[in-house]
Amino acid sequence: MQEDEPTGGDVNAVIQIAEEKKKQQRDSWSARLTSLAETRDKAEFAAIYGYFAPRVKSYIVRLGMPLATAEEVAQEAMLSVWRKAHLFNSTKASASTWIFTLARNLCIDRMRREKAVEYELPEEEPDPDQRDMAEHSVLEERMQVAIASLPESQAQVLHLSYYEGKSHSEIADQLGIPLGSVKSRLRLAFSKLKAHWGEEE
Amino acid sequence: MNIRHHFDDATLMAYASGSLPKGMALLVACHLHWCPECRERVRQAEAVGGALLEQIEPQAMPDNALQQLMARLDDDMAAEVSSLVSPALLPEGVPAPLHHYIRGSLDDLPWKRLGYGVHHVDLNLGGKGTTRLLKIAPGVSVPHHTHTGNELTLILRGSYSDEIGRFSAGDVADLDGEVHHQPIVDTDQDCICLIATDSPLKFTGLMGRLVQPFIGM
- Residue A128 confidence (pLDDT) above 50: no
d(CA A172, CA A180): 8
> Is B66 a member of any domain?
no
- The confidence score (pLDDT) of residue B168 equals 95
- Residue A91 confidence (pLDDT) above 90: no
A167 contacts B10? CB cut-off 8 A: no
Question: Which among A96, A120, A190 has CB closest to B45?
Answer: A190
- The confidence score (pLDDT) of residue B100 equals 86
Q: Average the pLDDT over A81-110 and give the result.
A: 93
> Is B53 a member of any domain?
yes
Domain assignments of chain A as residue spans, ordered by start: 17-120, 150-201
Q: Which of A49, A90, A97 should one mutate to test binding to chain B, selecting the residue with the greatest count of B CBs within 10 A?
A: A97
Closest-CA residue of chain B to A76: B69
Q: Average the pLDDT over A108-125 and give the result.
A: 57
CB contacts, 8 Å: A193 with chain B: 44, 48
The contacts found for B76-82 with CB under 8 angstroms, 24 or more apart, are: B77/A83, B80/A83, B80/A84, B82/A120
d(CA A81, CA B61): 16
CATH number of B152's domain: 2.60.120.10
- The confidence score (pLDDT) of residue A118 equals 43
Span A50-84, pLDDT tens digits: 999 999 999 999 998 899 999 999 999 999 999 99
Those residues with Cβ within 8 angstroms of residue A127's Cβ, 6 or more apart along the chain or in another chain = none
- Residue A125 confidence (pLDDT) above 70: no
Which CATH number fits the domain A17-120, given the four candidates 3.20.20.220, 1.10.1740.10, 3.40.50.720, 3.30.450.20? 1.10.1740.10
Closest-CA residue of chain B to A45: B70
Span B91-119, pLDDT tens digits: 999 999 999 899 899 999 999 998 778 89
DSSP H or E run through A41:
none
The pTM (predicted TM-score) of the whole model is: 0.83
| Structural domain boundaries enclosing B144 | 1-58+96-217
Closest-CA residue of chain A to B82: A120
Question: Which among A97, A121, A140 has CB closest to B32?
Answer: A121
Closest-CA residue of chain A to B39: A121
Identify whether the C-beta of residue A155 lies closer than 8 Å to the C-beta of residue A201: no
- The confidence score (pLDDT) of residue B126 equals 78
Those residues with Cβ within 8 angstroms of residue B175's Cβ, 6 or more apart along the chain or in another chain = B147, B150, B151, B152, B153, B181
Mean confidence (pLDDT) of chain B: 84
Quickly state the pLDDT bin for B216 (edges 50, 70, 90).
very low
> Residue A40 phi/psi, 5° resolution?
50, 40
- The confidence score (pLDDT) of residue A130 equals 44
Mean confidence (pLDDT) of chain A: 82
CB contacts, 8 Å: A139 with chain B: 47
CB contacts, 8 Å: A133 with chain B: none
CATH classification code of A150-201: 1.10.10.10
- The confidence score (pLDDT) of residue B147 equals 58
How far does CA B173 lie from the centroid of its chain? 10
Q: Average the pLDDT over B17-29 and give the result.
A: 92
Q: How many domains does chain B contain in total?
A: 1
Q: Is A50 on the interface with B (CB under 8 A)?
A: yes
CB contacts, 8 Å: B10 with chain A: 168, 182-184, 186-187, 190
> Is B120 a member of any domain?
yes
Q: Letter for the amino acid at A136?
A: H
CB contacts, 8 Å: B31 with chain A: none
A81-90, A158-167, B191-200: range with lowest mean pLDDT: B191-200
CB contacts, 8 Å: B82 with chain A: 120
Q: Which of A59, A92, A135, A162 should one mutate to test binding to chain B, selecting the residue with the greatest count of B CBs within 10 A?
A: A162
Question: Which among A46, A165, A190 has CB closest to B18?
Answer: A165
